[in-house]
Structure formats: C-alpha cells, structure tokens
Structure 1
Amino acid sequence: MAAAAAAVGAGKLGAGGDAVAVEVRLPPLSEADPLLAEKKMILEKRNLSCEIQIPVACSAVDALKLLDHIIEAARVVYMDELELYFAGDDVGPFSARNELESLNLLLKTMKKLLLTSNTAAKEVLQILHDEIVVKLKSVGKSDNAWMVVQTQNHDAEDSLLKWGEHLGIKSRLQIAYFQGAGRGMIASESIGVGDIALEIPESLIISDELLCQSEVFLSLKDFNNITSETMLLLWSMRERYNLGSKFKPYFDTLPANFNTGLSFGIDALAALEGTLLFDEIIQARQHLRQQYDELFPLLCTNFPEIFRKDVCTWDDFLWACELWYSNSMMIVLSSGKLSTCLVPVAGLLNHSVCSSAPLEVFFY
C-alpha cells in the first residue's frame, strides 16, 4: 500500500535563491506491497515518475500536462490487484476508489506547497490545485445512476447520531434510505472538496484496545490461548443484548440479519452448488461452527455471569461474525497500531462510492 501522504519538495532554486521549479513527490512504493514488482514495471514501461519538477514560469497548458503525468503515476501507486490485472495499456481512471485516492493525495500535496512556496510558484500551483478540485468533483458525476431517497422511519439511527454528537462526534451528514441500495448517509450541508464530513473520537471506536478494558477480556485473557479477534466476536455477541452498554444506540441500529453468504439458506446454497463460491461458503461455515463448538457451552459453564446461554446460540455467534466481516474497517489508532475496528456512524457510509451522486427525493 502507498503511504498516506506525498512528500513536498523544495524544488530547484535560481541564482537569486528563488524557486524556479517546485518538486512534487509521490510516496515511495512500499517494499511490503505484494504488487510492488508489477507497479514498478508499469511505471517504467510508461515512463512515469513519482517525482516531477514543475517550472514556476510554465504556461497553464504545460502545467496541466505535467499534472496529468503525476496523476497517471498516482493511479499506478494506488492500484489494487484487479485493476492491475485489467489495466493493459489503459492509463485510467481505473475506478472511483483509485481516482479519489490519487486525486486526494495530490490535493493535500498542493495545499502544503501553496502554504510554503513563494509568490511566483503559487500562481502555477493554484492552477494545479483548482484543476484537481474539478477532477475530484467530476468523479461522482461520471456515475449517471440516480440514487432515490425514500422517506422511512429511522428513529434508531437519529438516536445514534444524537448519542454520537453527545460523545464528541462531529457530523455534517444525516441518515437516508436509498431505493435499491438500503441505508446510507447524505450531506446535511454543503461540503467542499477536502472538507471533513465526519469526525469520530477514538473512544467510540470498537477495537482490541477497547476490548482490553472489558470484563470479557479480563475473564478470557488466559483462556485456552484465545485470540483478541475471537474475544471481539464474543464481546459483540454479548454487548448486543447488554441494556446498560455504552454502545447500545449503535447495536440498536444494526440489522437482525446481514444476509452474507455465511447465512445463505438451503435454496441459495443449492443455486450455487458446483461453484467455487459454494465451496468457500461451506468451508467458512464449517470453520466457524467448529470454533463455536470449541467455545460453547464451555464458556457458559465456566463464566455463567458473562455468557448467558440464551444469548450465546450459534445464530448469535454467526451474527457477530457477519457483523465484523461486513462492517469492520482498518484504522490506524493513536498508538500507531493498524487495527480492525467497528466504527459507529461511519459504518453507515456504505451505499455508494460516489459521494457527489445526484439525488432525487422520493416520498411514499
């Protein structure tokens, strides 16, 4: 994976010490990236560089040509395996995700350069900054599908937002239901490119760091080499029914069924029989069932006050597994640790990759 931000170079200096060119550097490709070799090969084949000098005296036309060059390089840096496989001679855009990550990285870079550059350099940098903003806004517009907002009761979700705001969440979004796509969020006010739409304090992120403060962890930390991932599943399964839980408003908004492959019924599985997906689902369910049988009823016997039999059924365990499979996010916590987490409110941002897609209000 690429680093989170690009480096900002000072660029070349003239005889008088003034900058004659500004250097923009993309983050180096990570040695840990499993796609490193393929990405290097594409960059070399297309004569793309992750470092580019932008003359401060160049014309707008030439500056935009250089911008296209660095955008192409950024797209390669942020390619995933599927995009690499189908890329061929295509220079992009490859996907909304890839384009947004690439452009957002360059937007942050231009903002830093505008703060540190001299007056002469700022003119060309402003041209590049404005063009990146235009390109970012066009990503959503390239999707011509209209998302229809439906009127629907969402008292639980409204309570979640109020709960979050009381505990420090800052949001410029509101809950909405979309025809054919389900629950999501829309802007409650105008949000510009680069603006923060949602801020969530770390104290509301459900991670293994929060787990360490729970009685589930204190009871199970020395139990049969149990992993933190399994303890998080057990914590979620139990917390779902905890009326005094700090996270009750969050659990109240979660669906009773997630409808992932893990909970497919007989008819759905029969339709998949003979496919690789069928085999994967069966193997996954068998693995989880074995894991469940190793935990229960043993935990109910050893820790009856924590694990009540009525909320520790196979269906409850499967629900917790599907919750983490479908709603978890990878977050870098303040400790520097990359953790798999559940993030209240942010989990509602799942209906579209194009946040600027046009909306039509539909009442029924």
Structure 2
Amino acid sequence: MVGALNIIMSETGDLCLELPKDDPFYHHKQKFLSCKGLGVKETLNLSGSLSQQLLNAALEKLLQFGRIVNLDKVEVYFGEDACTPAGIYSVRNEISALSWILSLIPVSCKMQTQVDTLEALRAAVKSRISEVVGAEKEKARVVDSYRCEKESRLVEWGQDNGVKTKLQIAQIDGYGRGAIASEDLKFGDVALEIPISSIISEEYVYNSDMYPILEKIDGITSETMVLLWTMREKHNLDSKFKPYFDTLQENFCTGLSFGVNAIMELDGTLLLDEIMQAKELLRDRYDELIPLLSNPVFPPELYTWENYLWACELYYSNSMQIKFPDGKLKTCLIPVAGFLNHSIYPHIVKYGKVCVETSSLKFPVSRPCNKGEQCFLSYGNYSSSHLLTFYGFLPKGDNPYDVIPLDFDVIDDEDIETEFSWTTHMLRGTWLSSNHNIFHYGLPTPLLNYLRKAQGLDHHSETDLWENLEVEMGVLENIQSTFDDMMQNLGDADSIDRENADRDVKLAMESKERQRKIISSILDSCSAGIKLVQEFIINPPV
C-alpha cells in the first residue's frame, strides 16, 4: 500500500512535500525521485502571481513527485523500464497523481494573488485529468431488449431510503449490467451517495437472533457472520433489503463455480491452481462451520454447500471494505453500487470511507464521465486471474497487473540484502516496457540484476555489464528456458467452437490465451536479447 504523504502549506505560500519514511517502498521511490532531480523533501513557492511558464514548471514538478510517491508495488517493480519518455508510469498512477495534486491545493488562502495562482494551478490539473493517456471515452451500447425492471425498483427503493445517484442502471453490450452517467460528471462530482442505513454490514448480525449463537463459535470472523446472515436474509420476504436481493444473479459464474469443461480448458495455467486452492479452502471452511450451526435459527435447507458457495461468490464479487466513523473497517454489501463495473481506466478510485458529516458513503469521480458513458469503479489493483476467480470476468485491455510470479531459491550471500533488494520477482507482457535496448530487453531490471547476481556478477554498472556479456547470455537463456517450459505446459491452442461454448468455457479460453500472449512476448524478448548480445560479442562497441 502506498504510504501517506506529508503535505504542508505554509503562511508564506510554500507547499512542502515529503515522502514518509514508513512508505513500504521508500528506498526505491527515493531512487526514482533522485533520478528526476528531486529529493524526498521538496518545497514549491506558490506565493504571488506566477507566469504561465512558472505555473507549468510548478505543475510538472508536482506531477513528477506525485507520480513517484503514488506508485504501488507492481509499478515500483517495473517502474524503471515502464516509464514512458513523457514520464507516465500507468493510467492508474497518472489519475492517482493528478487527484493527489488537486487534493493538496488549498481551497482558501489570505492573499488574492495566491488565490489566483492556486485557481490557475487547479484549472491546469483538471485539464490534464481530462486528457489522461489511454482513458477510454465511448458511449455505452445499451441492450434495449433487456428491461431493467428489478434494477429500477432497487434504485427507487434506494432513493426512498436516502440514496442519491447521477447514474442510470442498464444492460450494456459486452459488460452485462452497468451504470451509465445520467448527466455530465466532472472531477469531484459525487456519482453516487448511499447512507449507512442502506448498507448491509455486520451490525445487522449483532441485532439478530443469530448473534448469541455465532459469538460462541471460537475464531469466527465478522465477515463469516454477515455472510451466514445473508444466506438466510435472502429468503426473508419481509426483508428490508428484498429489492436488493431480488436483483442478484442466481449464478455468478466466477472461477469458483466453473464447470468441468472450463476447468479442463485451464489445464497448464496458473489460474487453475488459484481456483482449485481457493475452492478447497472454502470447502474446508464450510465443513468446519456446518456442524456448529445445528440450530433452528439455521435451517439446513438454506445452508447447503451450493448456497454457501453462492454467498461466498456474492461477497467476493460485490462486497466492499468500508471504513466507518468509529475507525473500524467492515466488509459490506452496497445496494446500487454493485452495478458499477471495473476497468483499468476507472472514473471512481477514491471511495470506501463513510463521510462523518453526512453519515453516508460517497463515490466521487476522479476523471470526467460524460452523459451516456459507462461509469467505472476500480475494484483494486488485481490481476485478470484474480478478477476471474473471485469476480467472474476478465477486464478489457492490457491489464498491467497481469504478472507471472517467479520462485527462486534465496542466494546464500550476506551482502545481497540491501535496501533495494526484492524478495519476490515477477514478469509481465514485455510490450508494456518502454526499454528494449541492450541490458533491458523489455524485461524488469530487478529480475535481471537478481539473475546477474546469481551468476556471480555483483556490480551492475554499464561498464560491468559490457565487460561480462557472457553473463547476459546466461541470464537470458535462464529466463528463456523457464518460459519455454511454461509454454509447453499450456499445450497447443484449442479448436473449440467458441461461439457455441458455455460462458465459463469462453472465459477459460480467453484467460489461457492471455497467459500464452504474455509468455510469448517474454520468449520473443529473450530471443531478441540473445541475438543482440551475440552481435555485440562478435562486434564489441568501440
């Protein structure tokens, strides 16, 4: 998780920025900042009236600082090679950095010249947000044949109970149900607001006849309690939340409920292991729980394995972690908000904390969403395999979090552990890299340096690398061999009639194709790298 930033606006108009030392990637980010000519502490003078040139320079400095301090683990790991010439690491990071800059610009100040400067800076940032690279802007293609009657009743119920929305629920081609902006939404506009009273949380368990029984079960979590409550409440015709339960699918089609044919299609993939391990864990939990629920409060016909799996899929795919005014983080179901689909180019990225003043949960947009466009929410920085296993879909576009983790034996060397070392390594599609030159090859620098170290090359300056090209060959051949084996495990592409295949089989096929594409790009980069190194061995640079 990205560490919080220390931000201070002095009376003189100085904006003081500082990267906290408790940031989990402090040393890596310090190095990135240094490469940009920045320190972990920076000061921007925004007093007086600034020319357009000085304003642009201030924004550029803020943006460089903001991009780096907002990098997450994957972005830090690949950052040295993924950063574009324009300084952009990813769409997610760019939106986060720009949103962060807006959040630190003071709303008010004493001097009018300073007010004008801050307003100009705010306007410049909003202009950049609307131009974020890669952000999709397209009208949602509504499927008119699907009448969202249950969904409309839920929205009406929500509005009767204090829900405020600028979204319309519709069946959208290629997505299923989704939320469309009913008016133009600009940065900071609240697309959806839901009062605490309309949120399903553990409080309903504490006030039910279940709690006296559940609280006696050793080690039971609040998440498990509210899940068990939901399994019964779904069938309560007098439930306050009946309009919400009526809109839920009978089958979620997450990876947890894949059929035999889909599971067979996943043979040789990393996803297969993920699904089987997750399902085995759920089955073990169910087998432990059921003997403890032998009470009329828990009707056996409602607590079957099938119903338990359905409830788990519901919470995996629809619940959100919400921070309440008491500071407690609770797993909740949020009626209406569940219709917001995920995207790698989301509009809503900052949510999950109840507003104390209004006792409601707000979903503000972090980039514009025009009327008629689908409004997307970020479910989190997840790989496509995770999204398929627990949410039941594959995101559109190239997901930068589709990484292949690598297991290596720890090098037995006391000197290898430095503040810049990584304990885990990973690879992803090399088309996401901006550097395919010698010593980079589109592959992540932390991995290459680890493998160079494993082959005895302790120092990785450019001079050292040029003098040890045979080590480069060994590193690339090592990676090539590993991924050759992975490609072999995937087997040949299937000739299944995709058009007539079941949905879970189609998803399994697409997931396998994505993994094959990533591995293929890595193998291509290794081959190109080996050829490049061989050329320099034969004809060394002067």
TM-score, scaled relative to structure 1: 0.85
Deviations 1:84-107 (A, max 9, x none): 222215164333332222222222
The CA deviation at 1:115 is 1.2
2:117 is aligned with 1:124: yes
Matched AA of 1:192: K
- 1:249 aligned residue: 243
Give 3-state SS (helix, strand or coil) of 1:197's partner. Answer: strand
**Residue type at the aligned position of 1:323:** L
Deviation of 1:216 (Å): 2.4
CA contact (8 A) 2:2 2:24 kept: no
- SS in structure 1 at match of 2:37: coil
Q: Using structure 2 for the length normalisation, give the TM-score.
A: 0.59
> Distance in 2 between the 1:48 and 1:318 partners?
51
Distance 1:66 1:216 in 2: 58
Aligned to 2:285: 291
Amino acid across the alignment from 1:281: I
Cα displacement string for residues 190-234 of structure 1 (whole angstroms, at most 9, x for unaligned residues): 322212221111222223344322332232111233222211221
**Residues 11-40 of structure 1 deviation map (CA, whole Å, 9 limit, x = unaligned):** 53xxxxxxxx431536x4472x54344333
Aligned ranges 1:105-124 → 2 under 5 Å: 105-110=100-105, 113-124=106-117
State the one-letter code of the partner of 2:95.
Answer: L
Q: Is 2:80 the partner of 1:88?
A: yes
Tell me by how many angstroms 1:64 deviates.
1.5
Gaps of at least 5 residues in structure 2 are: 348-367, 374-542
Matching residue's letter, 1:138: E
Per-residue displacement from partner, 1:70-119 (whole Å, max 9, x unpaired)? 12222222222222222215164333332222222222322xx2412411
Instruction: Give identity over the alignment, percent.
Output: 41
Instruction: Kindly indicate whether the alpha-carbon contact (under 8 Å) linking 1:330 and 1:341 is maintained by their aligned counterparts in 2.
Output: yes
> What CA RMSD, in Å, does the superposition of the two structures yield over aligned residues?
2.6
| CA displacement at 1:129 relative to structure 2 | 0.6
Q: Which residue of 2 aligns with 1:66?
A: 58
Written as runs of structure 1 = structure 2, the 5 A alignment for 1:1-364 is 1-2=1-2, 7-12=7-12, 21-23=13-15, 25=17, 28-29=19-20, 31=22, 33-49=23-39, 51-55=42-46, 56-88=48-80, 90=83, 92-110=87-105, 113-139=106-132, 142-143=135-136, 147-151=140-144, 152-296=146-290, 298-299=292-293, 301=294, 303-304=295-296, 306-352=297-343, 353-355=345-347, 356=368
C-alpha deviation, 1:4, in angstroms: 7.2
Q: Which protein shows a greater Rg? A: 2
3-state SS of 2:141 partner: strand
Query: Deviation of residue 321 (structure 1)?
Result: 0.9
In structure 2, how many angstroms separate the alpha carbons of the residues matched to 1:297 and 1:338? 29
Distance in 1 (CA, whole Å) between partners of 2:58 and 2:137 is 29
Deviation per CA, 1:254-312: give whole Å up to 9, x if none: 2222221111111111111233321221111111111111222541x2x22x2222221
Structure 1's 336 and 258: CA in aligned 2 closer, same or farther, altered over 3 A? same
CA contact (8 A) 1:5 1:109 kept: no
Give the letter for the 1:259 counterpart: C
Measured after TM superposition, the shift of residue 339 of structure 1 is: 2.5
Corresponding pairs, count: 346
Query: CA, structure 1 residues 25+214, in 2 after alignment: closer, same or farther (shift >3 Å)?
Result: farther
Aligned partner of 2:274: which letter? E
Q: Which runs of 5+ in 1 are unaligned?
A: 13-20
